[in-house]
Structure 1
């Protein structure tokens, strides 16, 4: 064991060699210095624990693993300041924390508590620093996956036959791109017998984003394999393959080359996806969508069509117009016998359609896709492996309808093909629903993360840590919180349930009296089958928890609530103090205003209210949710907390629920 411990001079030499490699460009710096304004805003948000701003900066393309001028990475700042949710989000988005690196050890050492430290330790390299690894693993697994059958070209190499996919070969190799574009109907390809089979298998594994540095044999066998790889790399126009196999270096350099190859391969597949799948999507009228015939032998090698229908905005207006446009009896416009033929137009109560208002037919979008990539969805994997119609061969491509809009289906396909999905908050809920329907767990969690971080609108989690949220403003209502909570229940995403309960708890005075909130509480209670009298309501329990967090009363058992109750009682008794009586209350301060009907005039009342509010603000007087005067902000929190708890109890009693 003692032989494995490096001396000081050895460590200094290793650090010198590393800095030299970084300076020469042979080794890429994992935490580059970033002094841009966006990165500074990002670091400040990590320091404060502002999830919303962090998510906005990440979506904007900021480098999550860069460092500031003080050598702090965003993950170190979040861990040091004790923001568990921010640290978790950074790790989920690809922040690095490796124990055998300086920044990784520094991050672990500076973690504020064991909860954050254990979170950091739970994320290893493959999970935290390789966001493209799931995509690469899926594409590599296609080489050995026989069911369902997705290969469309067989390559024969001596005594070995490889079943491959044209779109992967075309996206990764310029040689195959030109050959298959000229003859897209090709189903077989034979390799020259002079090239060893192992050489071609290594090249194919590289094209399928696999690790090409496998065992190449020994002696003459290794030389023959390397010669074949060199020849094939030039033929397939992928010269970097041979360079990577021959490249030497330590583990860090090998990992860096692997990361760069994954980024390059993912970029090639992303470009191919945009230039083929998205470029050749077809928009047709919905009633004619099923009549589209797409040949199986096509130049983009698609083997299935996915259909998404646009929402029909004219449906509701047309139904309303049809209900009003009932046939009315004709009215004669001329004089004469009643049995005569009327001359001139007949008046009708049926409104005519304005020439400028034309009914727009509903449209559908057909996306040409590849079943090999759709297999990343468990629903499609089961569908194509079963005896359903969609898994059977046919002269034309099957059309599979997806219950979503074309914009959302494009987001889903982008994720399946590229592992990337950028979408706004207004589409996040539908993306969540479709991802749950298709059993794409990672995309579902990404949508839930977006909702929980951006759903607070202009009020971040840092802002909601206080009790001064203005519930009368509409700026924060960027989402329907009732839909979010129901979506969390339907899709089984605890993150959304917790977010919804917290969102309502910090705005409870706004929602507590709404009829839809009562309905939501009843739905939460009904989620417990065979409900007993002692069962509580999960939503109410969560709201109570976050309500105590809002008013800093999470440690009620320690006696803090008793102290607050004493102060609140003292504040209530203080309503009759001299300072309170000094607030203008009546007409004596406004003798010149006329008195109407023996009562206080509206002008006098308005002036008195303004003067009273100004006086209270000047004297630092604070009022509770019920309008009572509190002694100070600490007493205000205690009194408001009890008021809201009382409203919850009243609500539960009115619904006939316990807990």
Structure 2
């Protein structure tokens, strides 16, 4: 028992164990037993991703991930993006890579390197919190929901019944058509089909394995056979082979054979999930988005869509187009978009799940499909449907706030998180350290930070609140004197019900924390944190100050200068620039200082004093 506990507590392999692991891994890859999780990538997009990971550029990382760059590839020096982010100490970049599917697997060379190279304990703990012994597959939620449809009893969303032996199994036509070429052809020729009988010679366990595969379920480690089932193990495997060829899903048998080896099973699982997502996405774009209907808003209720349709839709979602503020044609006829959808996939939203399991009109089955109004624009609804059907959520920063509110309204937590990631990465612009050095003005910001923090409050997204506080702290001199900033502080204070004088203001506390982080990053390295504190004058051995002695020295120096008729020259605070140019270094209040470190030290105190003055002006205590 003690040995088991010691094994669980071990988190990092010894170096000799790492070398053995690397040798064995390369041998298995060369033999073709396993695939290389970290293939060599010398392409320009991957090089740009690695460069962004070194710099900590969240925006560039998100853009490259959205383009489809492999986050698990390695460069010429065997560095993966996750190792680079870990080595350079960029916590937010490492978190983004993990959320995007970066591998950090126990007992592998690259996985252990992530922990060895972690610049600080915060990044190391991040890897451990993500349970680095397992890889995070971004498609797992989609697979889990699709597989759960096989056992879900309410609401009833099945539209075809398959007779297997003495039992009937309810299935979904659109999933069968998307995943199996056989069913796609059969249902395209006869979309009204509601029953299908399996040949009696086919073992039910073989058909169950095929259906589980079509519904993105994991391959079973063992198949029921032998006494009590009526089929031997060889007959079950023969049946699986036959039905995989019949349904044209040849990779089914390979999935079963690889299920015994953990790493091969994971790689096979990842490959099959990616393939399944591509098939569902292709079907979704051709049949759901391809049959989108745009009509005049006044005529929406006149649209009739029969339940027996060729794309097997059982509900219509409506989104009204928003009026264009820049459009001069004020009398333009308002229009609405209708999307034919499947309730089975809409159940991923808790909003629709509650609707379809209630006694509301939308939960009843009628000959004509119900039209459900969704309070968002057609573009936002298309993004939501794409996520529900394919787990893909790629959208620009300009629409991210609208997606955030729509996901919050429909209770799609993962899409809310994705919208927050898009805003906090693409909206960060340059890296925080560069923003602190450049000290840009408020007009240079690409986003409305005040709208973002209010959206974070309304949707209860902690990640956005932290991003907004850090954004403001690193650009505080551009915002602290604006009326909008003062109003924001007041709103933050008002969010505390029955606020007392001793209660803090959450936003202000976060800004102070990140403001301290902003300046401490430079002071710690240079040993200039002592500048933040006032030093008392040096004292004699008896404890008396040496002020009188210093005055005498100064008077003596002045006398010498007068005698030599040499004026005292006080050097101006300048910063030497290339080609002989100089720049005066001034603090926020206009005072001249010797160098940029003094400038930062003074600016830090000035900004803290401005925050305190703002609180006094607003009659707030924090």
1:191 shift after superposition: 1.7
For residue 404 of structure 1, report the CA deviation from its aligned partner: 0.9
**CA distance change for structure 1 residues 317 and 80 in 2, over 3 Å: closer, same or farther?**
closer
CA shift digits 1:177-231 (9 cap, x unpaired): 1121122222222222222222211111111111233422345521222222222
1:338-353 alignment runs, 5 A limit: none
1:658 aligns to 2:621 (yes or no) = yes
Of residues 544-553 and 429-438 in structure 1, the stretch that sits farther from structure 2 once superposed is: 544-553
**Comparing 225-234 with 168-177, which one deviates more in the overlay?**
225-234
Matched with 2:473 is: 505
Please tell me whether residue 531 in structure 1 is matched to residue 502 in structure 2: no
- Give the structure-2-normalised TM-score: 0.86
Instruction: Tell me, yes or no, if structure 1 residue 419 matches structure 2 residue 419.
Output: no
- Give the counterpart of 1:471 among 438, 441, 444: 441
Deviation, structure 1 residue 555: 9.0
C-alpha distance in structure 1 between counterparts of 2:138 and 2:572, whole Å: 65
Distance in 2 between the 1:414 and 1:279 partners? 13
In the TM superposition, 1:242-321 aligns within 5 A as: 242-246=253-257, 250-313=261-324
Whole-angstrom CA distance in 2 between matches of 1:125 and 1:509? 40
Q: CA RMSD in A?
A: 3.2
Alignment of 1:524-603 (within 5 A): 524-552=492-520, 563-564=531-532, 566=534, 578-579=569-570
Q: 1:551 to 1:164 in 2, by over 3 A?
A: same
**Distance change >3 Å, CA 249–CA 10, structure 1 → 2:** farther
Q: Distance in 1 between matches of 2:23 and 2:449?
A: 55
Match status 1:177 vs 2:184:
yes
SS in 1 for 2:620: coil
Please report how far the alpha carbon of residue 539 of structure 1 lies from its aligned counterpart in structure 2 after TM superposition: 1.2
- Per the alignment, in what secondary structure is the counterpart of residue 69 of structure 1? coil
Q: Which moved more, 1:292-301 or 1:544-553?
A: 544-553
Aligned to 1:327: none
Q: Distance in 1 between matches of 2:223 and 2:604?
A: 71
Provide closer, same or farther for how the CA distance between residues 565 and 106 of structure 1 changes in structure 2, counting only shifts above 3 A: closer
CA distance in 1, matches of 2:572, 2:224: 96
Q: Check if 1:30 corresponds to 2:37.
A: yes
CA distance, structure 1, for counterparts of residue 20 and residue 593 of structure 2: 67
Q: Alpha-carbon deviations, 1:254-276, whole Å to 9, x = none?
A: 22222211111111111100110
SS at match of 2:416: helix
> 1:446-461 alignment to 2 at 5 Å?
446-457=418-429, 459-461=430-432
* 1:438 corresponds to: 410
Query: Offset of 1:114 from its aligned partner?
Result: 2.5
Whether 1:641 aligns to 2:604 is yes
* CA–CA separation in structure 2 for the residues paired with 1:384 and 1:285: 27
SS of residue in 2 equivalent to 1:40: helix
Query: Which SS does the other structure have where 2:438 is aligned?
Result: coil
Residue in 1 aligned with 2:244?
A: 233
Select the residue among 52, 68, 75 that pairs with 2:75.
68
Q: Distance in 2 between matches of 1:656 and 1:183?
A: 73
Structure 1 unaligned residues grouped into runs of 5+: 319-356, 570-575, 584-612
Tell me what 2:593 maps to: 630
Tell me, in whole angstroms, the C-alpha distance in 2 between the residues paired with 1:478 and 1:97: 34
1:206 alignment partner in structure 2: 213
Change in CA separation of 1:126 and 1:403 when aligned onto 2, cut-off 3 Å = farther
Q: How big is the shift at 1:500? A: 0.9
Match of 1:283, SS state, is strand
Report the CA distance shift for 1:544/1:404 in structure 2 as closer, same or farther (over 3 A): same
Corresponding position: 1:361 with 2:372:
no
Q: 1:380 aligns with which of 352, 370, 381?
A: 352
Aligned-pair CA distance for 1:123 = 2.1
Relative distance call for 1:306 and 1:618 in structure 2 (3 A) is same
d(CA) in 2 for partners of 1:553, 1:97 = 28
Contact 2:486 2:614 in 1 (8 A): yes
Aligned counterpart in structure 1 of residue 462 of structure 2, from 494, 502, 505: 494
> 1:66: Cα distance to partner?
0.6
Residue 232 of structure 1 and its aligned partner are, at CA, apart by 1.5
C-alpha contact 1:196 1:224 (8 A) present in aligned 2 = yes
Q: Secondary structure at the match of 1:415?
A: helix
Q: How many Å separate the matches in 2 of 1:549 and 1:10?
A: 38
More displaced 10-residue stretch of structure 1: 227-236 or 269-278: 227-236
Q: CA separation in 2, counterparts of 1:71 and 1:282?
A: 50
Residue 174 of structure 2 corresponds to which residue in structure 1? 167
Shift of 1:248: 7.9
Q: Is the 8 A contact 2:188 2:310 kept in 1?
A: yes
Distance 1:281 1:46 in 2: 40
- In 2, the alpha carbon distance for the partners of 1:10 and 1:498 equals 40
Report which of the two structures shows the higher radius of gyration computed on alpha carbons. 1
What CA deviation, in whole Å up to 9, does each residue of 1:582-611 have, x standing for no partner?
99xxxxxxxxxxxxxxxxxxxxxxxxxxxx
When residues 478 and 491 of structure 1 are mapped into structure 2, their CA distance, relative to the original with a 3 A threshold, is same
- Equivalent residues, number: 575
- The answer (yes or no) to whether the contact 1:97–1:123 under 8 Å persists in 2 is no
Distance 2:219 2:419 in 1: 34
Q: Per-residue displacement from partner, 1:23-51 (whole Å, max 9, x unpaired)?
A: 46553210001112221221122122222
- The one-character-per-residue Cα deviations of 1:117-160 (angstroms, maximum 9, x if unpaired) are 22112224796441111111110010000011111111111111
Deviations 1:159-178 (A, max 9, x none): 11111111011111111111
Structure 1 residue 402 corresponds to structure 2 residue 411:
no
1:520 corresponds in structure 2 to 488
* Distance (Å, rounded) in 2 between the aligned partners of 1:553 and 1:263: 41
Question: What is the CA-CA distance between 1:249 and the residue it aligns to?
Answer: 6.7
CA contact (8 A) 1:565 1:638 kept: no
Q: Secondary structure at the match of 1:551?
A: helix
Q: Distance in 1 between matches of 2:20 and 2:611?
A: 67
Shift of 1:577: 7.9
Inter-partner Cα distance in structure 2 for 1:18 and 1:248: 19
Per-residue deviation, 1:580: 6.4
Q: Is the 8 A contact 2:221 2:260 kept in 1?
A: no
Matches of 1:46 and 1:507 in 2, distance apart?
22
Deviation at 1:646, TM superposition (A): 2.1
Q: Which moved more, 1:539-548 or 1:70-79?
A: 539-548
- Shift of residue 553 of structure 1? 8.1
